[in-house]
Copies of this chain bind each other. A is one copy, B any other.
Amino acid sequence: MTGMTDLHASTAAGQRGPSDHTIRDQIIAAADEHFSRYGYGKTTVADLAKAIGFSKAYIYKFFESKQAIGEAICSMCLGSVTAAVEETLADARSATDKFRRLFMTVAVKTKEIAFNDQKIYEIAAYSCAERWSSATKYIAGIERIVTEIVLEGRASGEFERKTPIDEAVRAIMSVFQPFMNPVMLQYNLEAVPEGANEVASLVLRSLAP
């Protein structure tokens, strides 16, 4: 997988054992490589152990299950989207600008993963459908950023203040779904970027005071 920004961001569920990050990261990197080529579904922990030259028992010292390894990879993959969002938001000038950048970066980056890392994208889609903690944490992180942007826009007078903030954020997250949820985006890839931009404009009109 390209774009692994922070290996140590992967504090997904099911990890255990010694806090030896080097070995843990080696397992994750090897598993990522292996899943990218052969897919997550068809690979067993035994296959993985054989491919990366560790014993199965040794891998189980660090991860309680195949899913735990999948969640770590998924956290990195989705974490790279969050990192790209944070980078682009750093020099945005207004809440309006921030919102559009957030929306477009999520859609474009997620689509990139779909094209460049198809097998890893499948894990991400599966993780969202199955609500693994790697996926729910990612979504919660994006929701937090949306909330901050809406509050900032309300404070600056860019956005309306009548709609309850929770409702406004929930509705935006719902509208976001076909562009950010990998399981939905796979049926909506052609809508990125033009369609995504039009939906961002619709949401911004809904936020107008």
Contacts and interface: CB of A to CB of B under 8 A. Distances in A.
A184 B191 CA distance: 15
A187 B130 CA distance: 10
A172 interface: yes
22 contacts: A128-B187, A160-B205, A163-B201, A167-B198, A168-B202, A171-B195, A171-B198, A171-B199, A171-B201, A174-B188, A174-B191, A174-B195, A174-B198, A175-B175, A175-B202, A177-B184, A183-B187, A184-B184, A202-B203, A203-B206, A205-B205, A205-B207
Interface string A163-200: 10001101110110110010110011001000100110
A52 interface: no
Given A160-B205, A205-B163, A188 B177 contact: yes
The majority secondary structure among interface residues of chain A is: helix
A47 to B, nearest CB: 29
